[in-house]
Amino acid sequence: MANNIIKDKRPIITIIAGVFAFSAFLAFWAAPKIYAVSYNGFVRKVNQERRTGNPDAPVTIIVYTDFQCYWCRKFEEKDLPYIIRDYVKTGKIFIEFRDFPLTMIHKYAFKAAEYADCSALQGKYLRVRSLLYKYQDYWSAIGDLYYFLKTHVKGLNLIKEEACVKSGMPKRLIKSNTASGMNAKVSGTPTLFIYKGLILYKKIIGYRPFPLLNKILKDSL
């Protein structure tokens, strides 16, 4: 009798197992396909989003910044709009941003850089970058980047954003950016490297009011 009962339950167990397998299959296809992006593909997309202007411009500026840095925010709000207007949109200067979070003094700078870089996969890097600086005091106080993005960035898929952050790809890229900055003797943020072609024209460490920076940029052309 016991054997008959066991045999009778086998079809039910098979059906339940099939239901679970089908559910897992659906969950797999419903999940964000962030992991379909290779690390090299991720880097290409982020670098594409972190560059602005004419790549054939006579002058290139590489900017190392930290999202929790007060002086980086000053550069973003007081200098960058004029650089974009007078030099980038006129085809004279090409800009590339790189991450250099000062983790010893800025607790959430690395995490902010992770989310900013991941937003590049959704074409929103410059938007997220701008908002992180604009509301720097707010998210620095709460330390919850997920909540900040949820309440301040419209149209950002947060499921994909979280999956990207957890993938480890942005962490790897940020560490690479930091290493390149250290090799270039970056000692603080913001740091600007101004190149005329392939030749380094000037390295600027720290914030400069736009009238002073403007003179340097004019002289570089």
First to last CA, the chain: 94
* pLDDT above 90 (res 34): no
Query: Which pLDDT value is given to residue 35?
Result: 53
Rounded distance, CA 115 to CA 67, Å?
11
Query: Which pLDDT value is given to residue 37?
Result: 82
Classify residue 157 as exposed, middle or buried by CB count within 10 Å of its CB (0-12, 13-18, 19+).
middle
Radius of gyration of the chain (CA): 24
Residues with Cβ within 8 Å of 173's Cβ and at least 6 positions away in sequence, in order, are 42, 43, 46, 99, 117
Question: What does pTM read for this prediction?
Answer: 0.82
Phi-psi group of 53: left, alpha or beta (phi > 0 → left; psi -120 to 50 → alpha; rest → beta): left
Query: Which pLDDT value is given to residue 33?
Result: 54
**pLDDT per residue as tens digits for the range 54-91:** 999 999 999 999 999 999 999 999 999 999 999 999 99
Residue 176: closest CA among 61, 34, 43, 72: 43
Query: Which pLDDT value is given to residue 18?
Result: 47
Phi-psi group of 55: left, alpha or beta (phi > 0 → left; psi -120 to 50 → alpha; rest → beta): alpha
Angle at 152 between CA 40 and CA 52, to 5 degrees: 45
